[in-house]
Amino acid sequence: MDQGHLITGGAAFSQIDLMLHLVERFVGQAVFEDCRRYLMADQRPSQGPYVSVSALIAADPQLQKAELFVRRNIGSTLTIPDLAAASGLGARTFSRRLKTKANLTPIGFLQDLRISEAIRLAQTSQSTTEEIAHHVGYSDASALRRLIARKMGRGLDSFRQ
């Protein structure tokens, strides 16, 4: 993660990822590509799509209340006022807090939780994509497919075991 003055890395290949990031940032794209090829390091996409909403809001009890509300009502039609009320905040305060804590809009928050549940269901059940879409609040499976492809860079079926 590059926050300007602070650069961090984690996981199995973090030292390679961090080194390559620093080479690219301070030396340039050409040297970065030479180093990447020499190390036989694949280009890995950002892990941003895989970051858990729960982890981002862990220190905020009011946002956690909204998350729990969504998880308990995942298949229902939910509105921003519903989410804000569940958190005990006004709609504008809820939106600002989500932006500050998780860099999400309320709709993005709801979509991320629905995607997470859809992926869990794909991995742990024999449900069809249409059944999963309905379970997580989408009446149209193609809308869920498009959303997952856009956010995750791959289709729902690729998460199946």
* Averaged confidence pLDDT in the chain: 86
Contact status, residue 87 vs residue 94, Cβ threshold 8 Å: yes
Q: Which residue has the higher pLDDT, 57 or 107?
A: 107
| Residue 102 near residue 67, CB atoms below 8 Å | no
Q: What is the pLDDT of residue 51?
A: 64
Protein fold of 53-159: Arc Repressor Mutant, subunit A (1.10.10)
Cβ 91 vs Cβ 80: under 8 Å: yes
DSSP bridge pairs for 127: none
Residue 143 to residue 107: CA distance in whole angstroms: 14
Neighbours of 14 (CB within 10 A): 11
Of 15-19, 94-98, 107-111, 129-133, least confident by mean pLDDT is 15-19
83 close to 70: Cβ distance less than 8 angstroms: yes
Tell me the pLDDT tens digit for each residue of 77-124: 999 999 999 999 999 999 999 999 988 999 999 999 999 999 999 999
The ranges of the chain annotated as CATH 1.10.10.60 are: 53-159
pTM for this predicted structure: 0.70
Provide the token pair at 118: 């859809």
